[in-house]
Chain A
Amino acid sequence: MRISRRRIRRSGYTHSSPDQVLYKQLQDNLTRIKTDFGQSDDLVVNCFEWTANPSLSYACIYIDTLVDKDTVNHLSEELMKLKRSPEQETDNLFILMRRQFSSIRDLKTGVKFIDLYAELLSGNTVFLADGNTEYLSIPTENKDSRAIEEPSSQTVIRGPKEGFSERINTNILLVRKRIRSHHVKLENLTVGNLTRTAVSLMYIENIAKDTIVREIRRRIKEIETASILEGSYIEELIKDDKYSIFPEFLSTEKPDTVTAALLEGKVAIFVDGSPYALTAPAVFVEFLHSSEDFYHNFIVSSMVRLLRFIALFLTLLTPSAYIAITTFHQEIIPTPLLISIAAQREGVPFPTLIEAFLMETTFEVLREAGVRMPRAIGSAISIVGALVLGQAAVEAGIISAVMVIIVSMTAIYSFTVPNYEMSNAVRIIRFIFMVLAGVLGLYGVFMGLIILTLHLCKLKSIGIPYLMPLAPWIKNENKDSLLRFPLWSLKYRPFGIRGEDKRKTAQTSMKKGG
């Protein structure tokens, strides 16, 4: 015991030596718990004498702020009624308690302090009985949380409008109820020495590739950190290319997106406290897909997808192309247009690069302000943004009208990218391209593009090449990348990601040999 006490002091926040088991005496246990929790005022330790045999006592321990008080009260009442059963003359209070509560689901027992603390901290109520080295944990968790609402970052017109919330169990429920199959597997992990955050892996047996599941599990288990507050912590810690700006996990607020990913053989990662789920491995084209693509006609969806890819390119390249062309390559603009642009730029005192930087930065500031500011003053920002920075700046001759058009086009294009992380990445890279354009013209932009493609080709998500169906080019796998082919032609799950169960369509619904 002395040794273990010394260990407690040394190990700081890790409570106690992990294998320390409960003592026989109730008072010893209570002292230990109180010492470990220190001066925490919300720790409630109630000690009772058993009405049937006052020489035996029991304790009810919970953390006041985490539990649902009605449930706890109810439990206490139940315990008061506990009597020595006439048929079984046992004095073992613990066994009696367990029998009393046997109708409650999720009843847990254990012997270690570390497990006991985990139970307490997840909002459960723990009962200890005198003379027994086991504890009994009863779920009394306070389940208050945000209701299931429409996702705020990924909106759709057609399709389910449910979004994840902050409670991990609710999120898992939302996915589970969409795939009613016993092949859906769930693994619970705990990450973060201090936060002990619940992290769940979900995948479909046989459809997900074993090696990928194992790799993700291994990487998450190897995480050495004190805290996990959001899924992005996990992504940043287990990403393949840690310095890359591009997201390698697809984060989504929509349960139907996660479901679709699971059905392609991907693994979903849920993190408690975050309304975003991650799916991996993720490939580049996926970041431009929306779940809605599958809810509309395939021709419409294909065109919309193409539009998004074009918009991604344009949001990346419009300002830099404008800078390059007006600074170095005026000859490739048709003459009438050139004259009109030149006329507008006549009174502007800045070179195009500076002008573009001013405007793009202003726009980024507006955007950031729009996210951060209190909702009530939103209209003020839009008036300032639209009138002062747009119209007034042009009329004052500080910037040209074309530049305002270019910036607003860039902004609107960037909003078509369905994934926020991807659009952020493109936002940043755009500025590098603007500098390249200002220094080296179209040649600079183009060499920048070459380096960008090289970088994208290098990236991997859990060992899967980032540009997967495009490079490496895989025959017949591009039906769901740039375009969206009709459902009946998508017979196989994505190559490289899928496990043993390759077919998407059931054998009977096949056109040939069905």
Chain B
Amino acid sequence: MQRTKITNHQLYSLTANGAFGGSVIVIASAMAAIAKQDAWISALLTPVIGMPVVWIYWYLGSQYPGSTFVEIIKKIFGRWIGTIAAASYVFLCLTIAYHLPWYVGNFVTTEAMPETPPYVINLMFVIAVVIAVLYGIETIARASELYIRFVLILSVLTMLLVSPNIKFENLQPVLENGMIPIFKGSYVLSCFIVFPIITMMMIYPANTDNISEAKKSIFKGFLWAGFITFITILMSTLILGSKITASSQYPTYLLAKEINLGIIFTRLEFIVAITWFVTQFMIGLLFFYAGVTGLSQLLGLKDYKRIVMPLGLITLVMSGVVFPDVIYQANWTKHVWLPYITTHGLILPLLLFLVHLIKKRMLKARY
């Protein structure tokens, strides 16, 4: 089957969206809890640490042009182990796909509309995701180009508007607790902005033409996302201080409440909120798309669009029951999400990479 091809700019914007993920509004809190006032150093370090991981993703894709991640896993691991590994990856995508509406529902009911049932909020989100997946990858890619501009412009604008409130004392003392918390922070951040790029593997080698150009696009997207995350964390620490940042659920949202320019430009937190909706929507969409296409390939379906609606319904129902409350979700993120995404975002690609190298070596030795 001839697959729809996307342009390199679209690959860049999809990667950036995938890397932003849902982290932009919440991550500063977790970071500040671990690395305290040095969270910004972790954020600066993450892209550096993440580079080799993203390189592995790119390398795997470049070795199997035209195939999706599920197909790559099957090709490298063989039929049985490959199917199990691919199924586990698809399961990850489908389960995370219903976490994201929960976050949105939770955010909206907490911050803006406490009387609205979260299901209604999740419904809008899931409808948008389902429509996007039904429209297909071409539409998703084009939309991501618009969204990434929107996100970049609004993030930079917010940070500029809030910058008069900077207090440099909040960063001191630097490296109070040594390097260990910083590395820990980097690892946590990687789980939010590096490893989720694995969802892109359902799109990247399969729907791209030019592999060597793709490398540039992927890295560019990744670094942009890293940069914006860094700015967000830095500004949160600079303005709110690490204590408030660590104790608030949505530090960036809190940050935007500090905006006060004249009498008119106050309470611009909804700008942050809509930025976050966009990134949340895009990462939800990427997870869902990866899950749906992955599942259809595992099952050997000709057209993935048939299973979009049922999976969308499952996603909607699950999004209401996945976490009973915020505490549960915080614990889940700490104890389940980190190892879960590391397994699929780091260990699985690393294993694939090694097996691929060994296979290649053996092939070479044979001839």
Chain A residues within 8 Å of B, Cβ to Cβ: 328-329, 331-332, 334, 336, 439-444, 446-447, 450-451, 453-455, 457-458, 465, 467, 470-473, 475
Contacts and interface: CB of A to CB of B under 8 A. Distances in A.
Contact of A454 (B131, B263, B267, B269): B131
A444 B124 contact: yes
Contact of A453 (B113, B127, B143, B267): B143
B205 to A, nearest CB: 19
A451 B142 contact: no
B113 A443 contact: yes
Contacts of B267: 331-332, 334
14 contacts: A329-B270, A334-B263, A440-B113, A442-B274, A446-B274, A450-B277, A455-B135, A457-B135, A458-B136, A471-B143, A471-B145, A472-B10, A472-B141, A472-B145
B88 interface: no
Contacts of B172: none
A457 B112 contact: no
Contacts of A475: 9
Contact of B142 (A329, A439, A472): A472
Interface of B: 7, 9-10, 13, 108, 112-113, 116, 120-121, 124-125, 127-128, 131-132, 135-136, 138-139, 141-143, 145-147, 263-264, 266-267, 269-270, 273-274, 277-278, 281
B7 A440 contact: no
A467 B142 CA distance: 9
**Chain A binding site: helix, strand, loop or mixed by DSSP?**
helix
A471 B116 contact: no
B124 A442 contact: no
B218 to A, nearest CB: 16
Which of A334, A457, A470, A475 has most chain B Cβ within 10 Å?
A457
B146 A470 contact: yes
A331 B120 CA distance: 22
A454 B139 contact: yes
Nearest to A475: B9
Given A467-B146, A471-B146, A454 B116 contact: no
A450 B147 CA distance: 9
A440 B124 contact: yes
Contact of A450 (B10, B116, B273, B281): B281
Contacts of A328: 112-113
A472 B11 CA distance: 11
A213 B53 CA distance: 47
A443 B124 contact: yes
A457 B128 contact: no
B124 A447 contact: yes
A204 B70 CA distance: 48
A447 B128 CA distance: 7
B9 A450 contact: no
A472 B7 contact: yes
Which of B120, B267, B270 has most chain A Cβ within 10 Å?
B270
A445 to B, nearest CB: 9
A334 B266 CA distance: 7
A440 B143 contact: no
Contacts of B125: 447
Nearest to B127: A451
A441 B10 contact: no
Contacts of B128: 447, 450-451, 454
Nearest to B266: A334
A450 B278 contact: yes
Contacts of B136: 458
A467 B7 CA distance: 15
Instruction: Please list the 3 inter-chain residue pairs (A to B) with the smallest Cβ-Cβ separation, ordered nearest first.
Output: A457-B142, A471-B142, A471-B145
Contacts of B143: 453-454, 457, 471
B264 A334 contact: yes
A442 B147 CA distance: 18
Contacts of A443: 108, 112-113, 121, 124, 277
Which of B116, B127, B139 has most chain A Cβ within 10 Å?
B139
A441 B113 contact: yes
Contacts of B112: 328-329, 441-443
Given A329-B112, A467-B142, A446 B277 contact: yes
Contact of A473 (B9, B127, B266, B274): B9
Contacts of B142: 457, 465, 467, 471-472
B45 to A, nearest CB: 31
